[in-house]
Structure 1
Amino acid sequence: MADVAEPRPDPGRRPHLGMQAGELDGKWYAKYWNPVMAPLPEHIREALALGPQAPPRCLSLDTAGTLSAAGYGDLENGYSLFDDGSLHIAALTRMPGVSPAMLDWWFWWHTTETQRYKLWHPRAHVYAAWSGDPADGGAPYRERYIGGTSFVDEYIGSALGELAIRFVRPGRFGFSEDGLDPDEATAVCGVVGLSRVPLDWGYLIHHVRRVRDGAEMRSRFWMGGSHVSPRGGASLTGELATAADGLRNLGAEQARAMVVHCSQEMNHLAAFLPDLCEEFTRGAARGRP
């Protein structure tokens, strides 16, 4: 598994939660900042009330590419805990007015600036920076983020995570990339690691497909347990071994917090993404960055 290309960039001052006075000055997208978030959808509240689900109901990482099939899986919302200490998360987000291509645009556009990242989840996102080759302005949006690493600090529940998310090709998880026409579907795929030490601890997929009134996102996470591994040939000793032990048994509280976080941020994003993306596209046509 490839190592992160560069060390985590650190800000000149300590990151903070929320927008501070003046932080959005001069930002054309400032009007999209909205600290008020909608309640959790009913289908997510119902899934959380059911508690952990039987592991056989979960989509396995080996068959993740079947998310591109029509219909729905056995577990679309909720979480499961496995004997090795790992957990599986599933969440469905309905996104009226959104297209799959808008999600490819978002996963390119938001990564380079903390303020953009904070738009996504006002209650949890703290910091963002990007490591990767400069984006080719003429390349499809999906190609602009694949191969790069997003360094993010975010709260999952009450715990602050300092993460490195390496975006990889959907084919790595069994998707047919020829079948991912961004007008109809996309799959945002990543390897999730820690940003300050060379340790990976899971995988994520957001599969987005067009539906009658917009799009729906089906998110999946495989975290902890046997998914914990060192990056770049690092030895699992000392501080790294301690960090690995802490990630191997995540538990129900962490699983519930991840379901809530994913649903909150994706529903909040869906509320402003169509207008934001359209305004960016108009500005780009006029030559504005």
Structure 2
Amino acid sequence: MSQIIPEQVQPTYDEYLAATKHRALRPDLTEQEKQRPFAKYYYDVITEPDPQHYAMMDKPCDPNKALYPEKRNDLLNPGDLDIETGWCNLKNGGGFIANKMVYPDITADMIDWWFSWHPLEDLRYRIWYPPQHGGLTVSPENRKRLLDDTIPYRERNWGVVHHVTEDTNCGMENIDIHFMSPQDFGFDMTRWKKPNVATFAGGVGWGVAVDKTDDSITAPAIMCHIFRETNEGLEHRTRFWLGYRFVDGQPELSLPPGVAVPAPAIQGLARHNVCEFTRFRDFLPKIYAELGGKSIA
């Protein structure tokens, strides 16, 4: 039987949105939050990324070697693509980000549980990467799906919208992330099998600055986290295509002619990705050992 999150833990969307300017200041936990069984993770010492890995985001990669979203099924091929870690402006002005990390102590089941567990409560997102994760909420309908024990963990996040507040090195933003199934994302499901695919989390996002003005720049983005099994551990391959959205199931560039996604926004997200998933590599095995397999703590 599904379990219900207490009302005081999960605010309504309007309440959440109204509080995001305060969240941008990264306030300390409330006394109520400090009583949650996983609050201790908010005060962890955060592991710094590997310097050589992080340095790969210092300069743009070769756009001629970047993967375009129309070729996303190339991610199902064995081996590596030309760019597995890097960022750049594509020739059409869109933004491209790639990052690869290996998790020796993480399984696909842990990934599936995490993406159904952490959206259920604001603090669960904040403990993931406290330096830049400001908060998260979902709708009552989405919460019901995430708690539905008749749905496999792998599928619970499909169709769910995460209303996220986070800083990707360009200031705090409110971001709506619409998660999708791999089929709706456009992957060739006849090739969707191990070891080249273990699991997936991805969809389309749209962010606006917490302090949005009429001059604020906004654009959609396609996000892809795809995982495969290797001898070294679970391999996580990230792709972002900034300035893109899906239209009738196909990726479409949504920038006006002659407009490019600002390079600092692409680089900022690339660096954020390295940092938050370095934390993820160390953090997820710990919290899964403590709470894994449960919908609610």
- Counterpart of 1:73 in 2: which secondary structure? coil
| 1:270 counterpart letter in structure 2 | R
Q: What are the superposed Cα offsets for residues 65-116 of structure 1, whole Å, 9 maximum, x if unpaired? A: 2212221110011111124321100111221200122111111111121211
Distance 1:170 1:160, change over 3 A: same
Q: What are the superposed Cα offsets for residues 212-257 of structure 1, whole Å, 9 maximum, x if unpaired? A: 3431211000002xx2699xxxxxxxxxx9xx77xx5332211211
- Counterpart of 1:157 in 2: which secondary structure? coil
Aligned residues of 2:176 and 2:207 also touching (Cα < 8 A): yes
Q: Distance in 2 between matches of 1:213 and 1:146?
A: 28
Q: Distance in 2 between matches of 1:182 and 1:24?
A: 40
| Alpha-carbon offset, residue 60 of structure 1 | 1.4
Q: Is 1:171 the counterpart of 2:183 in the alignment? A: yes
Q: Is 1:127 the counterpart of 2:144 in the alignment? A: no
Aligned match of 1:156:
168
Q: Distance in 1 between matches of 2:53 and 2:158?
A: 29
Q: Distance in 1 between matches of 2:38 and 2:233?
A: 22
Q: Is 1:193 the counterpart of 2:206 in the alignment? A: yes
| 1:218 counterpart letter in structure 2 | R
- Counterpart of 1:27 in 2: which secondary structure? coil
Aligned match of 1:141:
153
Aligned residues of 2:87 and 2:95 also touching (Cα < 8 A): yes
Structure 1 segments, 4+ long, off by >4 Å, are: 180-184
Q: Give the TM-score taking structure 1 as reference length.
A: 0.80
Q: Is 1:47 the counterpart of 2:60 in the alignment? A: no
- Counterpart of 1:275 in 2: which secondary structure? helix
Q: Which structure 2 residue ranges, 5 or more long, are not aligned?
A: 1-11, 213-217, 248-253
* Structural mapping, 1:1-289, within 5 Å: 8-11=13-16, 13=19, 14-15=22-23, 16-17=25-26, 19-22=28-31, 24-49=33-58, 51-131=59-139, 132-133=141-142, 134-135=144-145, 136-177=148-189, 179-180=192-193, 185-194=198-207, 201-224=220-243, 227=244, 249-281=260-292, 284=294, 289=297
- Counterpart of 2:45 in 1: which secondary structure? coil
Q: Distance in 1 between matches of 2:65 and 2:196?
A: 30
Q: Give the TM-score taking structure 2 as reference length.
A: 0.78
| Alpha-carbon offset, residue 183 of structure 1 | 11
Aligned match of 2:8:
none
Q: Distance in 2 between matches of 1:141 and 1:128?
A: 19
Aligned residues of 1:97 and 1:274 also touching (Cα < 8 A): yes
Q: Distance in 2 between matches of 1:267 and 1:149?
A: 24
Q: Distance in 1 between matches of 2:41 and 2:80?
A: 32
Q: Which structure 1 residue ranges, 5 or more long, are not aligned?
A: 1-6, 231-240
| Alpha-carbon offset, residue 153 of structure 1 | 0.8
Aligned residues of 1:167 and 1:191 also touching (Cα < 8 A): yes
| 1:193 counterpart letter in structure 2 | W
Cα RMSD after superposing both structures: 3.1
Q: How many residues align?
A: 263
Q: Distance in 2 between matches of 1:18 and 1:103?
A: 28
- Counterpart of 1:121 in 2: which secondary structure? coil
| Alpha-carbon offset, residue 180 of structure 1 | 4.7
Aligned residues of 1:180 and 1:187 also touching (Cα < 8 A): no
